[in-house]
Amino acid sequence: METLSYQTFKSQTQSQKTSVVIQEDDTAETFSSQEPLTKQPKILIIIPAYNEEKNIGSVLEDIQKQSLGFPILVINDGSSDNTEKIALEHNAEVISLPYNSGYGVALQTGFLYAVKNNFSIVVQMDSDGQHDPENIKDLLEEIQKENCDVVIGSRFLSAASYKTSLARHAGMWLFGSIASLICGQKVTDPTSGFQALKGRAIQFAASDNYPPDYPDADFIILMNRCGFKIKEVPVTMHASPEKESMHHGHKTIYYVFKMFLSIFVTLLRKSPKR
Amino acid sequence: MPPRIQIISILICVFLVAYVFELVRRKHLSEEYSMGWLITGTLMLILSVSEGALKWVSGLVGATLFTSTLFFFGLLFLMIICLHFSIRISALTKQVRILTQHVGILDHEKKVLEKKINQPPWQTGTSRLEQI
């Protein structure tokens, strides 16, 4: 059987109207990196959102402008504003968590939904407009190749420079270096929330192994230890508008401590089964 | 041990054990969590009443003052119980997280089904009974 290239896949999907209704494709299968995607993959875009009424609308519009035709799932993480309403107005599927549970929990809810509905590829991105939807196709192109389970969109591989604080830059470099050293491959952007996952990697992210608060370098290391193939592609990232980063104030100290501890115990633990 | 501190210590231990029993009776405290308090309260009571036992335990831990022995075991108990609660809170947090995720997904599925059911049959091509 012929392996589905992105071009073939794009032409197939472009013929579909830009609909956000969940596809009810029972024939979709989950794929591991060992087997190429020979059927039309069932793709889902997941966007965790917390109090993002100012940005979620434009993010969804930008994705829909790409005419990808994939369902978009917004996980409304207990927002107290109109995030849910705006997402629904933009024809996105919305899962609303009863209270604010944090970025990792919201993201994992999306993976659970993807597993439950047999999606074979999941693209995760942020709701604050930081990620450029034009790069979704780059992630999809890479994830559909053989020997690739996770694709990370790296802001540091892109020609465009990413402006952030020195402390944040230092943190990214530090955890990137640790992840690179342990994984034995270059990891330039371990904190990127712009990723694509395929097949068993989605199931793995939906399992108990997923760090529920900040899934960053520790999860990349864990996936690498479990044999998942991780790749990076250059993406454009804009500085987050309006809102502060989730790693600010006292949370920065917790984040650094948690990440070191999590990486250390990940190395101590036996690698879980894929 | 000075008689005053001994009396205070005995009173506190008796009050603690009695209060824990009362809390269990009123179902404000489960049997599972009362066990640690009852065992500690009883042990502290024994040490407060029996000077021989306190002397023996003080010799065992190398304490020169009997009151230090009581404080030492009191602190040790508090540390153990705090760690136990941290473990329980971690487990409960995880359970609540799983529940939250499932509630969110189920609520979404319910809304999708409701939407399908409320759609007029000519839009779906099937009767409402078939949809259900």
pLDDT at A268: 86
Q: Is residue A239 part of a domain?
A: yes
| A245 or B122, higher pLDDT | B122
Quick check: A123 and A32 in contact, CB under 8 A?
no
Q: Which residues of B touch A108 (CB under 8 A)?
A: 101
Rounded Cα–Cα distance for residues A251 and A240 (Å): 17
Q: How far is CA B59 from CA B41, B46, B50, B69, in A?
A: 21, 16, 14, 9
Percent of chain A with pLDDT over 70: 79
| Nearest chain A residue (CA) to B96 | A101
pTM over 0.95: no
Residue B97 near chain A (CB below 8 Å): yes
Question: Residue A161 pLDDT more than 60?
Answer: yes
Q: Is residue A93 part of a domain?
A: yes
Q: Is A265 exposed, middle or buried (0-12, 13-18, 19+ CB in 10 A)?
A: exposed
Q: Which residues of B touch A75 (CB under 8 A)?
A: 104
Long-range pairs of A254-260 with CB within 8 A, sequence gap ≥ 24: A255/A171, A255/A214, A256/A171, A258/A213, A258/A214, A259/A175, A259/A214, A259/A216, A259/A217, A259/A218
Question: Residue A20 pLDDT more than 60?
Answer: no
**Mean pLDDT confidence for A135-150:** 91
Closest CA to A97 of A81, A78, A116, A69: A78
In chain A, the number of structural domains is 1
| A222 or A167, higher pLDDT | A222
Whether residues B103 and A22 touch (CB distance < 8 A) is answered with no
Q: Whose structure tokens read 């465009």? A: A160
Q: Which residues of B touch A98 (CB under 8 A)?
A: 100, 103-104
Smallest Cβ distance to B105: which of A101, A105, A116? A116
Smallest Cβ distance to B101: which of A93, A94, A112? A112
Whether residues A101 and B97 touch (CB distance < 8 A) is answered with yes
pLDDT at B45: 92
| A34 or A154, higher pLDDT | A154
Containing domain of residue A104, as a range?
6-268
pLDDT at A115: 95
| Nearest chain B residue (CA) to A76 | B104
pLDDT (tens digit, 9 = 90+) per residue, B16-71? 999 999 999 999 999 988 998 999 899 989 988 998 898 899 998 888 888 888 88
Q: Is residue A189 part of a domain?
A: yes
Query: What ipTM was assigned to the predicted interfaces of this complex?
Result: 0.76
B95, B101, B102, B111: best to mutate for the A interface, most A CBs within 10 A: B101
Whether residues B100 and A101 touch (CB distance < 8 A) is answered with yes
Smallest Cβ distance to B100: which of A94, A97, A113? A97
Q: Is residue A190 part of a domain?
A: yes
pLDDT at B128: 57
Percent of chain B with pLDDT over 70: 91
Mean pLDDT of chain A: 82
pLDDT at A243: 55
Residue B90 near chain A (CB below 8 Å): no
Output the domain CATH number for residue A245: 3.90.550.10
Question: Residue A9 pLDDT more than 80?
Answer: no
pLDDT at B124: 61
Q: Is residue A1 part of a domain?
A: no
Question: Residue A180 pLDDT more than 70?
Answer: yes
Q: Is residue A273 part of a domain?
A: no
Q: Which residues of A touch B108 (CB under 8 A)?
A: 93-96, 113
Whether residues B105 and A212 touch (CB distance < 8 A) is answered with no
Whether residues A109 and B112 touch (CB distance < 8 A) is answered with no
Question: Residue A142 pLDDT more than 80?
Answer: yes
pLDDT at A38: 53
**Mean pLDDT confidence for A20-43:** 52
Q: Is residue A207 part of a domain?
A: yes
Q: Is residue A87 part of a domain?
A: yes
State the nearest Cα–Cα gap between B18 and chain A, in angstroms: 39
